[in-house]
């Protein structure tokens, strides 16, 4: 769509003009950008149909801006933009991907130090040049370096949630190929790691040549790096490599075990194998004395022969799971089919794109028993178009209507309220008391001392209406580290108050992370998996939330939305009164 391209240019023009203290024009460009971003139709279609008039009738677009849009559609360029970009050749996108650098700072950095790119920014920060700038200081120099480090950690890796749809498509094509007897994804993807460096797939087939020819011709493939009969590596359009390996059925299990990793898990397993007189590689568990293959067809048989429980892939990180398996104490983890409802969904009442009815229908189709609409409240966070106090009643009427129309699923009214810096909740007790379920989260003032943040969280948990604390750490993978608070104390208070902590399943959050999931369930803290969906297209993220729960060793009984509605209501009633 042209809309987003033009909107992006308008926004950059606004930024630059603003830094030059030009009056009112930046606002006009920004308004026009918002209009373009929210259009359902491509502007070129509007122009083709209605000409210039069609453009000027759009909110915030006058003759001058319409002319620029037309210029872009005719020439692919906007001269005014090109001219400004010559003066300010800044890579805004990458500089502002660091959370402590906004557009204004980016322009300042260019004007004072000539910084255009991330590499130049890094160099300047390392040389101590940033701290000397007015309005920056040592603290912001440190934050910039930290931001770059975070970005580099995920550079070249993609979010699990972003590769999932492509992996699904590749697997289903392989599964439909009749020359293939077995297909499995392995590597970090199978372990449900939050980011993946490349995708690894294993198949069993007697016709490797035909399989490799089939693989490299898939529509998801952009280029071929190595094409062999045992292993082929391609580069996918989504910007990541994919390895396909062909195995014989007789050592498929050992191949799966080897290529699922993690490397640390494999190393530890091999040591145990050696201590028991075996060797272990991708071809099997082999008796060192006789060279006989003891086990190789299935992963289960290999673990069994080593005297261990089967270890689910999400646990294979060498973080204590091997000792547990040797003691036959591997927990039964929550399953991918155990979820009965989603308690974190946004509708078009706030910043979601779909109606409550559309959400209910989709959730019902997924086999859910209940779904909570948890739109933002507007008071503490004016940006995301949330609910005003007077909106809750109106929304309730719509929810009642949907409940009477869509049978077989219960829609609950919730809210994602803001935890204010002082720990208060930005929705009145009167309104909270009328909702079915109350979630609260921190969405502002992330930088607080550990002590103050702990106080803030505890105060929110102690609010008698709060049921769930969403995305407890507020991390955004690759962009923002979680804020600091005393997790153990917060856990204690949450347990005392029957407040549930969320595993937010949004691909760039996955918060609580597996480490904290494990800490929480060690203390018998109850958790909920919520998708934070902003459209029905995102409800499937539940899968990666479950993956995260499994990486944190969670069982079904640790996760409250595995309960049926009746039990869930009872549990919530323990600390709030009004359940519909
Ligand atoms: P990634 O791709 O960076 O997200 O992480 P993985 O775990 O998928 O790593 P990858 O693709 O390099 O290799 C897949 C698995 O193969 C890995 O988890 C363990 C196994 N593997 C690969 N290279 C080695 C190795 O040199 N030694 C051992 N023990 N295992 C290896
Ligand atoms: Ca991999
Ligand atoms: Ca690989």
- Assess whether 26 and 141 both reside in one domain: yes
- Assess whether 135 and 171 both reside in one domain: no
- Assess whether 147 and 177 both reside in one domain: no
The CA 256 to ligand 1 mean position distance, Å, reads 11
The CA 186 to ligand 3 mean position distance, Å, reads 9
CATH of the domain at 107: 1.10.150.110
Q: Is the whole model's pTM more than 0.95, yes or no?
A: no
The CA 300 to ligand 2 mean position distance, Å, reads 22
- Assess whether 197 and 265 both reside in one domain: no
Atom 1 (ligand 1): residue with closest C-alpha? 197
Atom 14 (ligand 1): residue with closest C-alpha? 187
pLDDT, position 579: 43
- Indicate which atom in ligand 1 lies nearest the CA of residue 187: 8
Strands 240-247 vs 231-236: parallel, antiparallel or unpaired? antiparallel
The CA 316 to ligand 3 mean position distance, Å, reads 16
- Assess whether 192 and 313 both reside in one domain: no
Residue 145 structural domain: 2-153
pLDDT, position 22: 85
103-139 burial, b at 16+ Cβ within 10 Å, e below that, comes to: bebbbbbbebbebbebebbbebbeeebbeebeebeee
Ligand with an atom nearest the CA of residue 157 = 1
pLDDT, position 575: 59
SS (H, E, C) 320-350: CHHHHHHCCCCCCECCCCCCCEEEEECCCCC
- Assess whether 321 and 352 both reside in one domain: no
- Assess whether 211 and 360 both reside in one domain: no
- Assess whether 379 and 313 both reside in one domain: no
The CA 352 to ligand 3 mean position distance, Å, reads 36
pLDDT, position 380: 61
Q: Which residues contact 504 (CB under 8 A, 6 or more apart)?
A: 344, 470, 471, 510, 511, 512, 530, 531, 532, 545
The CA 259 to ligand 1 mean position distance, Å, reads 6
Candidate from 163, 167, 188, 239 with most ligand 1 atoms within 8 A of CB, to mutate: 188
Rounded Cα distance, 426 and 420, in Å: 7
- Assess whether 198 and 345 both reside in one domain: no
The gap between the terminal CA atoms of the chain, to the nearest Å, is 44
Give the ranges where 61-207 is alpha helix by DSSP (H).
63-75, 79-87, 92-95, 103-113, 118-126, 137-154, 160-175, 187-190
Paired strand residues for 340: none
- Assess whether 528 and 438 both reside in one domain: yes
Ligand with an atom nearest the CA of residue 192 = 1
Burial of 59 (0-12, 13-18, 19+ CB in 10 A): exposed
- Establish whether residue 267 lines the binding site of ligand 1, counting it when its CB lies within 6 angstroms of any ligand atom: yes
pLDDT, position 381: 64
- Establish whether residue 194 lines the binding site of ligand 1, counting it when its CB lies within 6 angstroms of any ligand atom: no
Ligand with an atom nearest the CA of residue 280 = 1
Last residue of a domain, one of 247, 280, 307: 247
For the chain, how long is the longest CA-to-CA vector? 86
- Establish whether residue 281 lines the binding site of ligand 1, counting it when its CB lies within 6 angstroms of any ligand atom: no
- Indicate which atom in ligand 1 lies nearest the CA of residue 200: 11
Atom 18 (ligand 1): residue with closest C-alpha? 261
- Assess whether 315 and 348 both reside in one domain: no
Tens digits of pLDDT across the chain (580 residues): 688 889 999 989 998 888 788 888 988 998 898 888 877 788 999 999 999 999 999 989 999 999 999 999 999 999 999 999 999 999 987 888 787 888 888 999 999 999 999 999 999 999 999 999 888 889 899 989 988 888 777 777 999 999 999 999 999 999 999 999 999 999 999 999 999 999 999 999 999 999 999 999 999 998 898 999 999 999 998 889 999 999 999 999 999 999 999 999 999 999 999 999 999 999 999 999 999 999 999 999 999 999 999 999 999 999 999 999 999 999 999 999 999 999 999 999 988 889 999 999 999 999 999 999 999 997 766 555 689 899 999 999 999 999 999 999 999 999 999 999 999 999 999 999 999 999 999 998 999 999 999 999 999 999 999 999 999 999 999 888 999 999 999 999 999 999 999 999 999 999 999 999 999 999 999 999 999 999 999 999 999 999 999 999 999 999 999 999 999 998 887 655 444 4
Rounded Cα distance, 514 and 527, in Å: 12
Strands 527-530 vs 500-504: parallel, antiparallel or unpaired? parallel
Count of domains forming the chain: 4
403 within a domain of the structure (yes/no): yes
């Amino acid at each position: 769509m042209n809309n987003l391209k033009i909107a992006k240019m308008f926004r950059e023009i606004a930024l630059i003009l603003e830094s030059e203290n030009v009056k009112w024009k930046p606002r006009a460009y920004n308004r026009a950008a918002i209009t373009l971003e929210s259009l359902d139709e491509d502007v070129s279609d509007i122009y083709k149909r209605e000409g210039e008039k069609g453009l000027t009738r759009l909110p915030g677009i006058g003759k001058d801006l319409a002319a620029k849009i037309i210029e872009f559609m005719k020439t692919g360029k906007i001269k005014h933009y090109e001219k400004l970009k010559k003066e300010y050749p800044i890579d805004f996108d990458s500089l502002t991907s660091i959370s402590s650098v906004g557009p204004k700072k980016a322009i300042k950095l260019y004007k004072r130090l000539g910084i255009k790119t991330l590499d130049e920014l890094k160099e300047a920060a390392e040389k101590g040049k940033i701290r000397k700038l007015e309005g920056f200081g040592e603290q912001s120099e440190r934050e910039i370096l930290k931001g770059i480090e975070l970005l580099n950690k995920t550079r070249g890796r993609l979010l699990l949630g972003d590769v999932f749809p492509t992996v699904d498509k590749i697997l289903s094509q392989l599964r439909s190929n009749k020359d293939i007897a077995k297909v499995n994804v392995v590597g970090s993807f199978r372990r449900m790691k939050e980011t993946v460096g490349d995708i690894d797939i294993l198949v069993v087939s007697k016709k490797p040549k035909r399989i490799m020819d089939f693989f490299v011709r898939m529509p998801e493939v952009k280029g071929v790096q190595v094409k062999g009969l045992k292993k082929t590596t391609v580069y996918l359009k989504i910007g990541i490599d994919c390895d396909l390996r062909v195995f014989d059925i007789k050592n498929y299990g050992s191949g799966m075990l080897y290529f699922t990793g993690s490397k640390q898990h494999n190393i530890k397993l091999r040591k145990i194998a050696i201590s028991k007189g075996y060797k272990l590689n991708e071809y099997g568990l082999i008796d060192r004395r006789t060279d006989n293959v003891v086990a190789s067809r299935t992963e289960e048989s290999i673990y069994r022969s080593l005297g261990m429980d089967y270890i689910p892939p999400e646990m294979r990180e060498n973080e204590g799971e091997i000792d547990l398996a040797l003691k036959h104490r591997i927990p039964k983890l929550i399953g991918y089919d155990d979820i009965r409802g989603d308690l974190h969904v946004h509708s078009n009442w706030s910043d979601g794109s779909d109606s409550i009815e559309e959400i209910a229908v989709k959730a019902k189709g997924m086999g859910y028993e209940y779904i909570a609409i948890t739109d933002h409240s507007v008071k503490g966070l004016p940006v995301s178009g949330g609910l005003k106090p007077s909106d809750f009643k109106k929304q309730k009427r719509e929810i009642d209507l949907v409940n009477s129309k869509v049978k077989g699923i219960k829609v609950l009214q919730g809210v994602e309220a803001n935890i204010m810096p002082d720990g208060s909740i930005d929705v009145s007790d009167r309104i909270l008391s009328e909702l079915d379920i109350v979630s609260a989260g921190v969405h502002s003032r992330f930088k607080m001392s550990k002590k103050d943040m702990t106080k803030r969280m505890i105060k929110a948990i102690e609010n008698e209406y709060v049921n769930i604390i969403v995305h407890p750490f507020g991390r955004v993978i690759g962009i923002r580290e979680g804020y600091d608070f005393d997790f153990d104390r917060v856990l204690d208070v949450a347990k005392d108050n029957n407040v549930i902590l969320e595993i937010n399943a949004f691909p760039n959050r996955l918060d609580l992370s597996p480490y904290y999931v494990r800490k929480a369930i060690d203390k018998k803290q109850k958790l909920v998996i919520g998708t934070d969906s902003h459209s029905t297209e995102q409800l499937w993220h539940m899968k990666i939330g479950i993956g995260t729960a499994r990486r944190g060793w969670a069982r079904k009984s640790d996760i409250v939305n595995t309960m049926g509605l009746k039990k869930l209501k009872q549990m919530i009633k323990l600390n709030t009164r009004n359940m519909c």
